[in-house]
Amino acid sequence: MPDRYAVFGNPISHSKSPLIHAAFARQTGADLQYEALLAPLDGFAAAVDAFRASGGRGANVTVPFKLEAFRYANDLTERAQRAQAVNTLKFDGARVLGDNTDGVGLVRDITQNFGFAIAGKDVLLMGAGGAARGVLLPLLACQPASLTIANRTPQKAIDLAQHFAAVGAVRASDYAGLAGDRYDLIINATSSSLNDALPPLPPRLFVPGALAYDMMYGKGLTPFLAFAEANHAQTLADGLGMLVEQAAEAFYEWRGVRPETRPVIEMLRKS
Ligand code: NDP
C-alpha cells in the first residue's frame, strides 16, 4: 500500500498540489498517493479524522482551513506558532504536528530561485491576512534592514507588527503613509490580484534593482506587477515558485528527502 497524503480545502478542485507531489514522488522514488480532498466548510476536523483513520500520513491545508488546522494540531513548530496558522500536518499515532511552510517557501523562492538576498534590504509587505502572518518569521530571520507592513485596514497591520516585535524590527503603515518611502523588495500578500484590484500604492516606491513579488499565481501580469513594471522594478515574480517551495518543505517534513523544485516549477509554467 502506498503512503497516503492529501490536501484539504474548499474549494479544492483547482489545487496544483497533487501534480506537484506526484512530481516529487517520481523524482525521489517515493511510493505515495496524494489526493485533493474537499472538506465541508463545517467539517474540517471530521474530514481529517477520517483520513487519519484510513491510514493518512500527512496533509496540506489550504483556504479556508489554515486556522482550523492550527487548532487541530497538538504539537506545533515555532513558525506555525508564530503564524497561528498551519498549512502542513504530519500524523504519527496520536501526535499531530502542525507546521507552516508558506514563509520558508517564499524566502527560498526569492533568495534561491531569483538569487535576491533579503539581508540588509528594505522590505515592504502588503497585506495583514493569513499569508502575511505566515511569512513574517522567515522574512525577519533573513535580517532585512527594515520591514514595513501596509494594510488597507491599518489596525490589522499594527496588530501584526506588535505580534512580531520581539522577533525583529517591523513597523506598520497605511498605504498613504508610504509616500516618499523606497523599497528593494515589495511583496503583495493581499488578495487584491484575485479581483484584478491594486492597493493604493504611491509612485516611486522601487529602488533600482528592486524585486516585485505577487503571491498570486496563474494570473499573468497582475495589476500589482503591471504597476511594478511601470515603476521600474527590475524583477517581477509571481507566487508559483512559492507554491512549489512550500510543497517541497512539506514533502521534506513528511519523507525526510528534499526534492528538486526547479524542474517542477518549469513543468508547471509550461502547463
Ligand atoms: P486573507 O483573506 O487572509 O487576507 C487578505 C488580505 O488582502 C487582507 O490584508 C486584506 O486587507 C487585503 N486585501 C484584499 N483586497 C484588497 C484590496 N482590493 N486592496 C488592498 N488590500 C486588499 O488572504 P490570505 O492572506 O490567505 O491570501 C492572500 C493572497 O496570498 C491570496 O491571493 C492567496 O492566493 C495568496 N497566497 C499564495 C500562496 C502561494 O503559495 N503562492 C500561499 C498563500 C497565499 P483588509 O485587512 O483590509 O481586508
Give the residues surrounding ligand 1 with Cβ less than 6 Å away.
Answer: 102, 127-132, 151-153, 156, 189-194, 197, 199, 215-217, 239, 242-243, 246
Region of 259 please: left (phi>0), alpha (psi -120 to 50) or beta.
beta
Ligand 1 atom nearest residue 127's Cα: 9
Q: How far is the CA of 215 from the centre of ligand 1 (A)?
A: 9
In this prediction, residue 16 carries a pLDDT of: 97
pLDDT in tens, 69-106: 999 999 999 999 999 999 999 999 999 999 999 999 99
The bridge status of strand 88-92 relative to strand 56-61 is antiparallel
In this prediction, residue 219 carries a pLDDT of: 85
The bridge status of strand 32-38 relative to strand 235-237 is unpaired
In this prediction, residue 71 carries a pLDDT of: 98
Helix axes 262-270, 17-28, angle to 10 degrees: 140
The fraction of the chain above a pLDDT of 70, given in percent, is: 100
Mutate which of 99, 152, 268, 269 to test ligand 1's pocket (most atoms within 8 Å of Cβ)?
A: 152
CA distance 212 to 237: 6
Residue nearest to atom 17 of ligand 1 (CA): 192
Beta strand ranges found along 179-264 (DSSP E) = 183-188, 206-214, 235-237
Tell me the HSE value of 246 on the side-chain side, using a 13 A CA sphere: 27
Ligand 1 atom nearest residue 102's Cα: 42
CA distance 250 to 24: 11
CATH assignment of 103-238, given 3.30.460.10, 3.40.50.300, 3.40.50.720, 3.30.56.10? 3.40.50.720
The answer to whether 103 and 167 are in contact (CB under 8 A) is no
Q: Which of 16, 66, 90, 121 is catalytic?
A: 66
The domain locations on the chain are 3-100+242-270, 103-238
Is residue 34 predicted with pLDDT exceeding 90?
yes
Mutate which of 67, 187, 190, 227 to test ligand 1's pocket (most atoms within 8 Å of Cβ)?
A: 190
In this prediction, residue 213 carries a pLDDT of: 98
- Within 8 A by CB and 6+ apart from 168, the residues are 140, 141, 143, 144, 147
How would you class 201 by CB atoms within 10 Å of its CB: exposed for 0-12, middle for 13-18, buried for 19 or more? buried
Region 148-168 average pLDDT: 96
Average pLDDT over the chain, rounded to an integer: 97
pLDDT in tens, 101-156: 999 999 999 999 999 999 999 999 999 998 999 999 999 999 999 999 999 999 99
CA distance to 19, 79, 125, 128, per residue, from 104 (Å) = 20, 9, 15, 18
CATH architecture label of 3-100+242-270: 3-Layer(aba) Sandwich (3.40)
**Whole-structure pTM value:** 0.96
Q: Can 156 be counted among the known catalytic residues?
A: no
Q: How far is the CA of 206 from the centre of ligand 1 (A)?
A: 21
* Element at 7 (helix H, strand E): strand 3-9
The residue length of the chain stands at 271
pLDDT in tens, 195-236: 999 999 999 999 999 999 999 999 899 999 999 999 999 999
In this prediction, residue 49 carries a pLDDT of: 98
Is residue 29 predicted with pLDDT exceeding 90?
yes
CA distance 10 to 48: 13
The answer to whether 85 and 66 are in contact (CB under 8 A) is yes
In this prediction, residue 271 carries a pLDDT of: 87
